[in-house]
Structure 1
Amino acid sequence: PMPIDDLAQVDYSLNSLPAVFQPFIDLDLKGTVYAAGNYTGPPYVAAPFTIPDQSNSMLYLAFSEYFFQTSSFAYYTAGAFNITITEETCSYFNISTEIFSSIIPEVAKYSVTPYPVMLKLMATEIPIISLEQDSFTVEIQGSMEVFAVLPDSTTQLLFTMNIAANTSIALNIFDQKLMGSLCLNRLQFSLAHSNVGFFEISLLENILSYILQTEVIPSANAKLSKGFPLP
């Protein structure tokens, strides 16, 4: 296996002997991504497929859903979809209870002085990969826990939200690596648990969407830009 990064590695193995024809050679490879140091077989089956006959280029390379499904499974297993955002790591603005107190009155009761806020995001299921003609989408089901960070450095859970994210990925090949760029298409939030009373989720959607767009997506794209080594 070849390392992709510190979380995953990829194994390319021949499914069958190379098929040699007069104008071309067919190599049937099975590409499987594993969490680093974990060779547990992914819960997917690699389905055979063919590449349409073309002759304008020297090399044609095709990937099936299986390759990307095993990638999703490997990174989910390795915890790559678990992200913590704090005041120190937030690039564009300070996340504090002040942001939420105008929308959720109970939050304002914690302190006259705003407390820093910590967000813990995690995928609750293996992200679902879907390859269609001219589209590559990833559906992510997850949760977001929102904590107030108290002066003694302990945390107090304010509320937990369910998140459903629809994303798309654009692929390209550069420097013998398969690279991707993630785009957030749609977000849905629902309140799972609250220690600060009931409130309208819709009032927080713009704030939370902005945090995901400015913190999570750029972080994911930085990792995707490192690329998957090709066989």
Structure 2
Amino acid sequence: MAHLTFLFFLISSLFLSSQANLHLQPLRNQEESFTSILVSQQGLDFIKDLLINKAISSIIPLQLPATIEKSARIPFLGNVHMVISNVTIYKIDVLSSYVKPGNTGIAIVASGTTCNLTMNWHYSYSSWLLPIEISDGGRASVQVEGMEVGLTLGLENHEGTLKLSLMDCGCYVKEITIKLDGGASWLYQGMINAFEEQIGSAVENAITNKLKYGILKLDSFLRSLPKEIPVDDNASLNVSFVENPLLSSSFIEFDINGLFTAKEKVQIPKHYRQTWQPSVFCSDQSKMLGISLDEAVFNSASALYYDAEFMEWIVDKVPDQALLNTAGWRFIIPQLYKKYPNDDMNLNISLSSPPLIRISGHNIGATVYADVIIDVVEAGQVIPVACISLEIHGSGSVKIVGNNLGGSVKLDDLVMSLKWSQIGNLRMYLIQPVMWTLVQTVVIPYANSYLGKGFPLPIIHGFTLLNAEITLSSSKVTVCSDVAYSESHNLNQLGIYFE
């Protein structure tokens, strides 16, 4: 059987997914945005924890660049010169943290943070009691407690990509404990405590600078995200952002265009049906992620492939080969067998208009208008003998297969009419079962073999959907899910570096 490009794509387009629309408010600017992604507070907490762990693992060990020196005159001892060097943060523990989106930005705060450091210390002093300089040194361990780190991020659309800006950033050290090792540390412990303020300030500056640099790298990563995702050699998905993200007290929503676009300059109709309905809710509001698809995305796909003339094919092989020989039609179309006895046949199928896909609260339906030309192959010559118009109605179900959105399709109804004939009038009620069998035994199993495997949802490599649920509503398919992250993957694969 020749390529079934169209029907495979048509039915699979019922399930192809990009990011879509889970709202707690009516859809904004729907004439431009057909898909969105909503990250709930639970999802933001999950991402925040991952990024904090990534930041900590990237920062440590962190050597503070400055060498801290002090000189003082101490009665009876004379001039004392004190130096602290090689101050290195080797451990950071975050007791608690939170992320909170708001109208002005996204606030991330880590509190109750402890920080462990090591450093070298050195003393030298001279006294009128002794004619020579005396020095001593060793190692010290430092415990920073009660440290708070906070930053506020701005997020906006910049020519279809996301721009991340640092609106505010700070680090505050509450308390420092220094314990000396080596030398006559018991003698100098009181004096070394005088460095607490400088050490605290150095830690604050080092952490703040690293965070600023990390945000710049994260902004660079976001702005490098592609505006189109290739689907195949002919189509891409337009994932450019539309307007600024919607920041709420409990979620962030990103709206994207979401329509299929042609790689070649094929003109695609833009008159997709718009809906101005209340937003779609997940039945479980604790889910981290909401992904939903407007039916306009699927209809843009069908329009693209229709205009690109991919919805035509010739059927020359079927499970019951008698269906493609005039002998198999002798009781259905007697005049065909009489005129062309025992000749092979082809069925030339082409669509008369783009498939129409509709999504309701109960199912996903597709209506296909096609013309089937019955060809007789005689002595190597293809002879068109009749054309039958089909109106095919199908419905599908969806399921989650790993990170894929898969499913199956079934044939609901088939309406036929004779468009033209070179062999006289045809009894359509006799031909109806043959056409039904053709669609049921050839097209549907072929499509379902692909649909069972599913098509990938836009999940970053290393993340997997967990306990996903699917909801259908008027014009939309919504996937609500938690996500898990595999520790075997490295977040550096996202292109985010804090070093």
- TM-score bracket relative to the smaller structure: 0.7 to 0.9
2:340 aligned with 1:104: no
Structure 1 distance, partners of 2:378, 2:266, is: 41
What is the deviation of 1:14? 1.2
- Paired letter, 1:146: I
Match of 1:121 in 2: 349
Equivalent in 377, 386, 390 of residue 163 of structure 1? 390
Q: Give CA-to-partner distance per residue, 1:171-203, whole Å, 9 cap, x none.
A: 334454444532211001111111111121101
Question: Could you state the TM-score of these two structures normalised by the residue count of structure 2?
Answer: 0.42
Higher helix proportion, which one? 2
Higher gyration radius (CA): 2
> Is the contact made by 2:314 and 2:346 (CA closer than 8 Å) also made in structure 1?
yes
- What corresponds to 1:134 in structure 2? 362
Cα distance change, pair 40–177 in 1 and its aligned pair in 2 (3 A): farther
Equivalent pair of 1:4/1:228 in contact (CA under 8 Å): no
CA distance in 2, matches of 1:128, 1:105: 35
- Match in the other structure for 1:72: 302
1:58 is aligned to: 288
C-alpha distance in 2, partners of 1:134/1:16? 32
Query: SS at the partner of 1:17?
Result: coil
Structure 1 position 221, deviation (Å): 3.5
Report how far residue 19 of structure 1 moved.
2.2
Q: Distance in 2 between matches of 1:40 and 1:103?
A: 42
The 1:194–1:109 alpha-carbon spacing in structure 2 relative to 1, beyond 3 Å, is same
User: Cα deviations across residues 55-76 of structure 1 (Å, max 9, x unaligned)?
Assistant: 2311111111211111121222
Equivalent AA in structure 2 for residue 64 of structure 1: D
Of 397, 410, 416 in structure 2, the residue corresponding to residue 183 of structure 1 is 410
Which residue of 311, 314, 317 corresponds with 1:84? 314
In 1, the alpha carbon distance for the partners of 2:419 and 2:456 equals 36
Higher relative strand content = 2
Instruction: Say which is worse superposed, 132-141 or 167-176, in terms of deviation.
Output: 167-176
Work out the number of aligned pairs and report it. Answer: 227
CA distance in 2, matches of 1:111, 1:163: 24
Deviations 1:35-87 (A, max 9, x none): 4434634323565663326523111111112111111212222333322101x
Give 1:67's aligned amino acid.
Answer: V
8 Å Cα contact 1:104-1:196 kept in structure 2: no
CA distance in 2, matches of 1:44, 1:223: 29
Partners of 1:72 and 1:34 lie apart in 2 by: 11
Moved more, 137-146 or 73-82: 73-82
Q: 1:133 and 1:57, CA in 2 relative to 1: closer, same or farther beyond 3 A?
A: same
Contact 1:136 1:168 in 2 (8 A): yes
Cα separation, partners in 2 of 1:228 and 1:155, compared to 1, 3 Å: farther
Deviation of residue 34 (structure 1)?
2.3
Tell me by how many angstroms 1:122 deviates: 1.1
Alpha-carbon distance change, 222 to 63 in structure 1, aligned in 2, over 3 angstroms:
same
In 2: Cα distance, 1:63 partner to 1:212 partner: 27
The separation in 2 between residues aligned to 1:109 and 1:201, in whole angstroms, is: 18
Deviation at 1:134, TM superposition (A): 2.0
Work out the CA distance in 2 between the residues paired with 1:56 and 1:223: 32
Point out where structure 1 has 5 or more consecutive residues left out of the alignment: none
Instruction: Quote how far apart the aligned CAs of 1:132 are.
Output: 1.2
Q: Please show how residues 24-63 of structure 1 align to structure 2 within 5 Å.
A: 24-38=251-265, 40-45=267-272, 50-52=279-281, 55-63=285-293
**1:162, 1:191 within 8 Å by CA — same for their partners in 2?**
yes
Indicate yes or no: 2:93 matched with 1:93: no
CA RMSD of aligned residues (A): 2.4
Note closer, same or farther for the CA distance 1:191–1:111 as it changes in structure 2 (3 Å cut).
Answer: closer
CA distance in 1, matches of 2:420, 2:268: 35
SS in structure 1 opposite 2:321?
coil
- Give the distance between the partners of 1:75 and 1:182, measured in 2 at CA: 20
Give the match for residue 172 of structure 1.
Answer: 399
Identity among equivalent positions (%) equals 22
- SS of residue matched to 1:43: coil
CA distance in 2, matches of 1:173, 1:33: 22
Cα distance 1:213–1:77, how it changes in 2: closer, same or farther (>3 A)? same
Cα distance in structure 1, aligned partners of 2:378 and 2:400: 47
Q: Does 1:201 align with 2:431?
A: no
Q: Please, which runs of 5 or more residues in structure 2 have no aligned partner?
A: 1-227, 460-499
Given the superposition, is the C-alpha separation of residues 111 and 55 from structure 1 closer, same or farther in structure 2, using an over 3 Å criterion?
Answer: closer
CA distance in 1, matches of 2:328, 2:263: 39
